[in-house]
């Protein structure tokens, strides 16, 4: 589906403001000054201040328009223009870390800047425990203790702590999955640079910002210096047009893209999403008003799903432009891909790679053992509303264990408090209970990345399954998460089929990988 590479030049898509030069003028106003001798008040001439020649790099128009990522990095590096492949020092607006990488980042910061050094800005560092939380594992618990001690030393403003593991609701500061919490707590802002010690930090690109995962060493440096040397990535443009079918979700779109370009197709590239379909993902179907000043639009969560999985294609970052400006052919894109979304069908990614794309209907004979609905990719409020919608339409009960893991406390509250449209006032939690699902778990990353053995819903043991007329000793899970590599959710023999919330819900009802159109049409 890729079209020919677009490489052209044109005028800039932004305006560089020249410094306004003030010119003194004379006034006929009389001042109360006694002159030594009579002077004429007539103005003979006015001298214009001499203007020195400015270098071309700081004035005039830039010959090549910038992509969204280039615009953001140009601002952050205090440059008028950038080109892909260029290395620049970028000022960071927000640095995020969590319980898995936070201790390592802190260790590097103290080693390189000093045991008593202070972070560059205590209000620009966000620390969110979320990965290995509800576990008795001592090392996992120690990691959170390290974060707590450091945040106390540094007086970090945004530390979302958890102390009572027995009841997450007893911890008002605790949020849950970092990528969803960042958005809900107002840390995602258009035009800014957000770096985090997690590969799915790219999730925040949905808000029109540059967001990317970095390692502990880089994060330790940012923690002390507030900047990082980055190479400007070239941009791949994905144009998605057409009316979104009622049985598709953003997860199907990103699985289509990854299947098209492969898990290495966007290595160190920016993936920019545009088109009428993407624009529709910002239109309101309803509004979630959370228990704070944050108002979250449902369809923004679909944009988050798109950007969340760009790293599964090797992408440096994903971004949806924050404005509605039409992009013209003068922009410098490495490649462009076009999709008619109206013709797409529900998809899955078969084991053991996110680019192992297949139509859901082609996998109808794959028997499954469980369904997992959660994570930063598929554990948002919109995702659970989709599951509830399909369950409500079917009127059936699930045939396999179905695990519900909300991403954050706010999502958990939505599940229990917001009526599902068309359900007669029922909430998601009520519909899930009627369908026979497990009780919604405490918000966290859960089994998405395995974790300690006592992690909720972890795939610990192989189970007997019947797959395509073959008796196999492994567990098969349909999951709304983002990766399906061997051992990703626990046991190395586990088989993971990545799917949208619709497809996951339909599969739970049949016990086989199922096309959701069986229940939605």
Per-residue pLDDT at 521: 78
Q: Angle, nearest 10°, between helix axes 409-417 and 381-394?
A: 30
Count CB-CB contacts under 10 A for residue 115: 7
Residues composing the chain: 521
By three-state DSSP, how is residue 52 classified?
Answer: coil
How far from 12 is each of 16, 63, 301, CA to CA, in Å? 9, 6, 31
Band of residue 495 on the pLDDT scale cut at 50, 70, 90 = very high
Per-residue pLDDT at 58: 47
Per-residue pLDDT at 53: 56
On the question of pLDDT at 43 being above 70, the answer is no
As given in the structure block, the two tokens for residue 267 are 């290595």
- Own/partner long-range contacts of 152-156 (Cβ < 8 Å, ≥24 apart): 154/118, 154/119, 154/122, 154/125, 155/122, 156/119, 156/122, 156/125, 156/127
Of the two residues 69 and 327, the one the predictor is more confident about is 69
Which residues 6+ apart lie within 8 Å of 151 measured at CB? 127, 159, 161
On the question of pLDDT at 30 being above 50, the answer is no
On the question of pLDDT at 473 being above 50, the answer is yes
Count CB-CB contacts under 10 A for residue 444: 30
Of the two residues 323 and 179, the one the predictor is more confident about is 179
Band of residue 50 on the pLDDT scale cut at 50, 70, 90 = low
Q: Calculate mean pLDDT across residues 302-327.
A: 87
Which range has the top average pLDDT, 56-65, 287-296, 304-313? 304-313
Q: Calculate mean pLDDT across residues 134-145.
A: 97
Per-residue pLDDT at 9: 34
Q: Calculate mean pLDDT across residues 388-397.
A: 97
On the question of pLDDT at 20 being above 90, the answer is no
As given in the structure block, the two tokens for residue 304 are 């988050």
Q: Residue-wise over 389-413: b if at least 16 C-beta within 10 A, else e?
A: bbbbbbebebebbbbbbbbbbbbbb
Of the two residues 31 and 449, the one the predictor is more confident about is 449
On the question of pLDDT at 10 being above 50, the answer is no
Of the listed ranges 156-170, 372-386, 468-482, 494-508, the least confidently predicted one is 468-482
Tell me the C-alpha distance between 193 and 292, whole Å.
24
Band of residue 323 on the pLDDT scale cut at 50, 70, 90 = low
Which residues 6+ apart lie within 8 Å of 64 measured at CB? 9, 10, 12, 81, 83, 330, 332
Q: Any idea what DSSP says for residue 310?
A: G
Per-residue pLDDT at 7: 35
Per-residue pLDDT at 474: 73
What are residue 297's DSSP bridge partners? 287
Q: Any idea what DSSP says for residue 255?
A: H
Tell me the C-alpha distance between 501 and 506, whole Å.
9
What the chain holds in terms of domains, given with CATH numbers, is 69-232 (3.30.499.10), 233-343 (3.30.499.10), 349-518 (3.30.499.10)
Nearest to 412 by CA among 196, 167, 85, 86: 167
Count CB-CB contacts under 10 A for residue 333: 21
CB 82 within 8 A of CB 200: no
Question: In whole angstroms, what separates CA 212 from the centre of its chain?
Answer: 9
Per-residue pLDDT at 354: 98
Instruction: Please state the φ and ψ torsions of residue 139, each to the nearest 5 degrees.
Output: -70, -35
Q: Calculate mean pLDDT across residues 342-354.
A: 98
CB 521 within 8 A of CB 245: no
- Segment 409-427, tens digit of pLDDT: 999 999 999 999 999 999 9
Q: Given the structure tokens 């990095």, which residue do they identify?
A: 73
Which residues 6+ apart lie within 8 Å of 260 measured at CB? 1, 2, 337, 357
Of the two residues 467 and 104, the one the predictor is more confident about is 104
Q: Calculate mean pLDDT across residues 238-251.
A: 97
On the question of pLDDT at 159 being above 50, the answer is yes
On the question of pLDDT at 54 being above 60, the answer is no
As given in the structure block, the two tokens for residue 521 are 């049409």
Per-residue pLDDT at 425: 96
Q: Calculate mean pLDDT across residues 82-90.
A: 97
On the question of pLDDT at 397 being above 80, the answer is yes
Band of residue 198 on the pLDDT scale cut at 50, 70, 90 = very high
Q: Calculate mean pLDDT across residues 315-331.
A: 71
Please provide the average confidence, as pLDDT, over all residues in the chain: 86
On the question of pLDDT at 227 being above 80, the answer is yes
Per-residue pLDDT at 65: 85
Q: Residue-wise over 67-81: b if at least 16 C-beta within 10 A, else e?
A: bbbbbbbbbbbebbb
Per-residue pLDDT at 463: 62
CB 80 within 8 A of CB 71: no
Q: Given the structure tokens 């695990």, which residue do they identify?
A: 403
Per-residue pLDDT at 291: 34
Per-residue pLDDT at 294: 39
Q: Any idea what DSSP says for residue 459?
A: B
* DSSP per position, 489-519: TB-TT-EEEEE-HHHHHHHHHHSB---THHH
Which residues 6+ apart lie within 8 Å of 354 measured at CB? 255, 258, 263, 309, 312, 313, 482, 483, 484, 498
On the question of pLDDT at 103 being above 60, the answer is yes
Q: Calculate mean pLDDT across residues 352-367.
A: 98
């Amino acid at each position: 589906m890729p079209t020919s590479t677009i490489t052209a030049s044109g005028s800039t898509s932004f305006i560089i403001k020249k410094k306004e030069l003030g010119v003194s003028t004379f006034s006929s106003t009389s001042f109360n000054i006694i002159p030594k001798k009579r002077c004429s008040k007539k103005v003979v001439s006015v001298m214009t201040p001499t203007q020195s020649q400015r270098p071309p790099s700081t004035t005039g128009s830039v010959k090549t328009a910038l992509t969204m990522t280039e615009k953001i990095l140009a601002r952050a590096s205090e440059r008028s223009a950038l080109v892909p492949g260029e290395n620049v020092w970028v000022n960071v607006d927000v640095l995020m870390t969590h319980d898995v990488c936070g201790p390592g980042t802190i260790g590097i910061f103290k080693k390189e800047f000093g045991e008593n050094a202070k972070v560059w800005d205590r209000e620009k560092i966000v620390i969110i425990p979320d990965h290995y939380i509800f576990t008795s594992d001592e090392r996992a618990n120690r990691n959170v203790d390290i974060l707590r001690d450091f945040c106390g030393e540094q007086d970090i403003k945004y530390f979302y702590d958890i102390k009572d593991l027995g009841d997450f609701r007893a911890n008002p500061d605790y949020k849950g999955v970092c990528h969803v919490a960042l958005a809900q707590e107002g840390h995602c802002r258009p035009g800014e640079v957000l770096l985090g010690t997690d590969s799915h930090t790219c999730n925040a690109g949905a808000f029109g910002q540059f967001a990317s995962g970095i390692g502990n060493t880089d994060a330790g440096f940012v923690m002390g210096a507030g900047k990082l040397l980055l190479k400007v990535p070239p941009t791949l443009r994905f144009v998605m047009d057409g009316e979104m079918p009622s049985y598709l979700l953003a997860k199907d779109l990103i699985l289509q893209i990854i299947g098209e370009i492969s898990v290495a197709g966007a290595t160190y590239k920016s993936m920019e999403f545009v088109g009428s379909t993407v624009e529709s993902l910002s239109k309101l179907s309803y509004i979630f008003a959370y228990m704070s000043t944050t108002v979250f639009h449902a369809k923004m969560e679909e944009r988050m799903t798109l950007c969340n999985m760009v790293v599964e294609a090797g992408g440096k970052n994903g971004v949806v432009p924050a404005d509605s400006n039409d992009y013209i052919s003068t922009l410098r894109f490495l490649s462009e891909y076009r999709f008619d979304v109206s013709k797409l069908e529900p998809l899955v990614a078969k084991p053991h790679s996110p680019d192992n794309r297949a139509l859901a209907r082609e996998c109808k004979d794959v028997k499954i053992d469980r369904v997992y609905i959660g994570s930063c990719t598929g554990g948002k409020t919109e995702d659970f509303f989709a599951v509830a919608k399909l369950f409500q339409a079917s009127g059936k009960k699930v045939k396999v264990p179905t695990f519900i893991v909300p991403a954050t406390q706010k999502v958990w509250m939505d599940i229990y408090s917001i009526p599902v449209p068309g359900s007669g006032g029922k909430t998601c939690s009520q519909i899930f209970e009627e369908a026979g699902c497990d009780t919604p778990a405490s918000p966290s990353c859960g089994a998405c990345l395995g974790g300690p053995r006592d992690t909720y819903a972890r795939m610990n043991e192989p189970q007997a399954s019947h797959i395509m007329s073959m008796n196999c000793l492994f567990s098969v899970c349909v999951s709304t998460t983002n990766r399906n590599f061997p051992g990703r959710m626990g046991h190395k023999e586990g088989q993971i089929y990545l799917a949208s919330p619709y497809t996951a819900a339909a599969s739970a009802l049949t016990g086989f990988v199922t096309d959701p159109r069986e229940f939605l049409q």
